[in-house]
Structure 1
Amino acid sequence: MIESNTELTRVPKAPSPAPARGPASVRAAAAARPAGAMVASSPAPAPSPALPAGSTAGSPAATPARDTPVTRRHAWRLEFTGTGADYFRIWIVNTLLTLATLGVYSAWAKRRKARWFARHTLLAGEPFDFHGDPRRILVGRVLALALLLACVHAFDWSLAAGVAALAALYVLGPMLFAGAQRFKLGNLSWRGLRFGFQPVAVPTYASCLPLLVAWTLVAFVVSLGPDLGPWVSGLIGLTAALLLPIAHGRLRQFQHRHARYGALAFHFHLPVEAFYGLYLRVGGALIVAGAVTALIGAGVSLGWKLAGGAPPEGLRTALPLVAVAVAWACAWPIYIARQQQVVWNNTRLAGGIEFASDVSVVALLKTVLGQGLLTVLTLGLYWPFLAVRIAKLRIEGLSVMTDAPIGGIVVQAPPRRGPGPARGPAVDGAGDTFGLDVGW
């Protein structure tokens, strides 16, 4: 460890303990407080292990005996202070400059966007920050774009070229993913101390390959489905569907188990059944929303025919697209909210630090449907306001809980192992081209 410590200071003192209350979960207590407020829950025995997300703190059974040392849980809800109007100015400048430079400015636009969102996200009243070098993002995107074009067109050249490109993707894909996480976390800081990501080769490939296999199976069915026959296509599709949830969970486990804040390590418990439940919910939402939208579209077409003519070609083309868009708009909020709950409720940070997510599916669904419609009607100009609203719901749905007041936690910087985040290999900036540093 480096000798100099970074102490988390300038935090308000914990309020006096409130009178004992009935059973209440830690997440419910955190949600009832304003952003940045510290919560003192009912006494619990000490020392005690970190409470699992959703467990009860302060229940009668947890009341300690007389003269037993006690600890109190403190919860801090993240706060997002950005506004749609402020982000609109950044977004419109980024968009215009990216178009004017034929995409070259996109790397600087990404850094500017990430820094704006980080600096408007507060924990205990203190903002995060982002320090990424846009030149590395640009070089990484060029390398990733070359690999992407090779994978897309290789089979058009020859079977051998296609197999070689696919093999290159399997070899380089896990490296790109790990590099994207290292770049994103290594350039994120809070109170002057950076996060980090320290992957190991074997877990990297073991965690990423199941997802690559699932993607390969889906691409195989999409490209060769008519030639394979319905039974073979269905079997391959079912295999991919059963593999995807566990592959997703393994990837999340890899991300969080190798993440660091200073010298503190994150831990993640993989709830396999929760990831399958997540995909079942999303699949059900897609089926219901798609069926309802299809019935509405069929009714519109029938009404048009009864009125004395066939629907115009444009309408017949637009209806399936509208059905897909509505189904996605209904299923995506469920996926995002439930995924955030599953992931963060099972994540811990060394030192007795826990996380809890209570992001509202209903609020997210209303936002996507309502403000998404405004985005369509304004031809995309309302997008920054929608993005800020979604970010606010997701960020402020997350709470950080500690056994001691956050001002008493001392975090050491990790030992240096070579070049810092700003001087790493260009592959660290390449993963975002494939969307590998966002979403999952």
Structure 2
Amino acid sequence: MEQSPNTPEADLTAATSTVSATPTEAAIEFDSHPFTFHGLGGEFFRIWIVNIVLTILTLGIYAAWAKVRTHQYFYGNMQVAGGSFQYLANPVTILKGRIIAVVLFVAFFFLNQQFPVETMVVSIPLFLFLSPWIINRSLRFNMRNTAFRNIRFDFTGSYGSAFCNFVLGYLAVLFSFGIAFPWWIRQLNKYLVNNTKYGDAPFEAKLDVGEYYITFLMAMLIATVLYIGLFVLGGLSFAGAAFDAPAVATIGTGITVLVGIIGFTFVKAFVNARLGNLLFNNTKLKENKFKSQLDAKALTKLYLLNALLIIVTLGFAIPWVICNLVRYRAETLVLEGNDLDSFVAAQIDAGNAIGEEIGDVFDIELGL
């Protein structure tokens, strides 16, 4: 007799086949694409020194071209998945925005000289209400003039969200006596990432506020231990001076200063590494994700070496220092994805640079 397809044996065989096939079908393989930076300190030095000289000779007018040249060098030398970034801003557009920004700054300066009280009463609330607009215009301009594989980025943050995150968030930090600071940093990171798009695909950052508090609490603990150590070393130096032992006092002071410099540099590197890894490791672009491996010890060595280079060369090593920092950031970042060719370029306007240049003049500096 012919076996029915609905027998227990047939059901067991089908179930086993389904269970064994499901993991293979559901598995998603991600390709790893390390970021690489090919810029060299010597190459950038030539761009850097020419930018400085021409900016001075043109009384600042060339600064717009200097900014574009610098961005184009670093963007063009940053590569991932076989492609490099592009900076597409027009220097003339930046110059127009910068002129407007400088005119506003000069007007504020002279009004403040003639009517200091009235100017401050009006300018402070005006600045608070204008700053979200300035920040959004700056971010939108930079994103829309940045491209990868000929697809532009975009920034879609609204005025209301920027006001809540930057202005009200800052006031929350002040009124909480700094307790809300980790929360505020997390809110700013979420605002910046979640409102950024690559073509028509939005970035998404899921950030745990607890991790931010843990980072700053650990940094405070390290700093506290460091302060205690410095207090002890300072006491030894003071004792050496009190007991007429200048050699002990000198050596003790030198060690105290050295430990302080290295220690607080490590605290800075620790926070930067933790926050950098936390941000990128929890950010996605569709099914693509990032893997960041910044290391506090490596960053500390890099910071100290860069500071020494700048001091010894009287600032002429700045191009090498910048390249070293960018190269390390690239070497510790990997893009893991499998649909890099599926993005569609959204048709977006290149925008204008007025907001960005006002931000530069009034010292609103943002970095991601």
Using structure 1 for the length normalisation, give the TM-score. Answer: 0.68
Indicate the residue corresponding to 1:370 in structure 2.
305
Structure-2 separation of matches of 1:180 and 1:154: 26
Given that 1:154 and 1:165 are in contact with CA atoms closer than 8 Å, whether structure 2 keeps it comes out as no
What is the identity, as a one-letter code, of the residue corresponding to 2:284? R
Given that 1:181 and 1:437 are in contact with CA atoms closer than 8 Å, whether structure 2 keeps it comes out as no
Per-residue CA deviation, residues 249-306 of structure 1 (Å, 9 max, x unaligned), is 1111111111110111111213211222233344445555566567667766776784
Given that 2:97 and 2:352 are in contact with CA atoms closer than 8 Å, whether structure 1 keeps it comes out as no
Structure-1 separation of matches of 2:160 and 2:192: 14
Distance 1:355 1:149, change over 3 A: farther
Q: What secondary structure, in the 3-state scheme, does the structure 1 residue paired with 2:60 have?
A: coil
Structure-1 separation of matches of 2:85 and 2:311: 32
Indicate the residue corresponding to 1:51 in structure 2.
none
1:162 to 107, 120, 126: 120
Q: What secondary structure, in the 3-state scheme, does the structure 1 residue paired with 2:178 have?
A: helix
Given that 2:94 and 2:352 are in contact with CA atoms closer than 8 Å, whether structure 1 keeps it comes out as no
Q: What secondary structure, in the 3-state scheme, does the structure 1 residue paired with 2:164 have?
A: helix
Q: What secondary structure, in the 3-state scheme, does the structure 1 residue paired with 2:21 have?
A: coil
Given that 1:80 and 1:122 are in contact with CA atoms closer than 8 Å, whether structure 2 keeps it comes out as yes
2:346 to 403, 410, 414: 414
Given that 2:37 and 2:330 are in contact with CA atoms closer than 8 Å, whether structure 1 keeps it comes out as yes
Distance 1:210 1:112, change over 3 A: same
User: 1:435 offset after TM fit, Å?
Assistant: 5.4
Indicate the residue corresponding to 2:155 in structure 1.
197
Structure-1 separation of matches of 2:106 and 2:196: 27
Distance 1:143 1:242, change over 3 A: farther
Q: What secondary structure, in the 3-state scheme, does the structure 2 residue paired with 1:355 have?
A: strand
Whether 1:387 aligns to 2:345 is no
What is the identity, as a one-letter code, of the residue corresponding to 1:117? F
Q: Which moved more, 1:100-109 or 1:87-96?
A: 100-109
Indicate the residue corresponding to 1:343 in structure 2.
279
RMSD over aligned Cα, in angstroms?
Answer: 3.5
Indicate the residue corresponding to 1:334 in structure 2.
270
Indicate the residue corresponding to 1:43 in structure 2.
none
What is the identity, as a one-letter code, of the residue corresponding to 1:373? L
Distance 1:324 1:94, change over 3 A: farther
1:72 to 29, 34, 37: 29
Seq. identity, %: 24
Indicate the residue corresponding to 2:81 in structure 1.
124
Indicate the residue corresponding to 1:357 in structure 2.
292
Given that 1:356 and 1:398 are in contact with CA atoms closer than 8 Å, whether structure 2 keeps it comes out as yes
Indicate the residue corresponding to 1:183 in structure 2.
141
Structure-2 separation of matches of 1:91 and 1:214: 40
User: 1:328 offset after TM fit, Å?
Assistant: 5.2
Structure-2 separation of matches of 1:434 and 1:270: 30
1:430 to 358, 361, 364: 358
1:278 to 215, 230, 235: 215
Structure-2 separation of matches of 1:149 and 1:332: 38
User: 1:307 offset after TM fit, Å?
Assistant: 6.5
Given that 2:136 and 2:158 are in contact with CA atoms closer than 8 Å, whether structure 1 keeps it comes out as no
User: 1:149 offset after TM fit, Å?
Assistant: 8.4
Distance 1:415 1:382, change over 3 A: closer
Per-residue CA deviation, residues 340-359 of structure 1 (Å, 9 max, x unaligned), is 11111121112x11112112
Structure-2 separation of matches of 1:148 and 1:273: 44
What is the identity, as a one-letter code, of the residue corresponding to 2:166? C
Per-residue CA deviation, residues 150-184 of structure 1 (Å, 9 max, x unaligned), is 49995994444322111111111111111111111
Structure-1 separation of matches of 2:36 and 2:121: 48
Indicate the residue corresponding to 1:225 in structure 2.
none
- Match runs of 1:34-433 below 5 Å: 65-68=19-22, 69=25, 70-144=27-101, 146-147=104-105, 150=108, 154=112, 157-213=115-171, 217=174, 239-288=176-225, 306=244, 329-350=265-286, 352-402=287-337, 404=338, 406=340, 409-416=341-348, 420-421=349-350, 423-424=351-352, 426-433=354-361
Given that 1:329 and 1:368 are in contact with CA atoms closer than 8 Å, whether structure 2 keeps it comes out as yes
Given that 1:195 and 1:262 are in contact with CA atoms closer than 8 Å, whether structure 2 keeps it comes out as yes
Structure-2 separation of matches of 1:349 and 1:157: 50
Structure-2 separation of matches of 1:284 and 1:359: 20
Per-residue CA deviation, residues 202-229 of structure 1 (Å, 9 max, x unaligned), is 21212221344268x4xxxxxxxxxxxx
What is the identity, as a one-letter code, of the residue corresponding to 1:67? A
Given that 1:268 and 1:347 are in contact with CA atoms closer than 8 Å, whether structure 2 keeps it comes out as yes
Higher alpha-carbon Rg = 2
What is the identity, as a one-letter code, of the residue corresponding to 2:328? L
Structure-1 separation of matches of 2:186 and 2:139: 16
What is the identity, as a one-letter code, of the residue corresponding to 1:242? I
Given that 1:78 and 1:399 are in contact with CA atoms closer than 8 Å, whether structure 2 keeps it comes out as yes
| Structure richer in helix, relative to its length | 2
Distance 1:348 1:122, change over 3 A: same
Given that 2:266 and 2:296 are in contact with CA atoms closer than 8 Å, whether structure 1 keeps it comes out as no
Given that 2:75 and 2:85 are in contact with CA atoms closer than 8 Å, whether structure 1 keeps it comes out as yes
User: 1:103 offset after TM fit, Å?
Assistant: 3.0
Structure-2 separation of matches of 1:358 and 1:74: 17
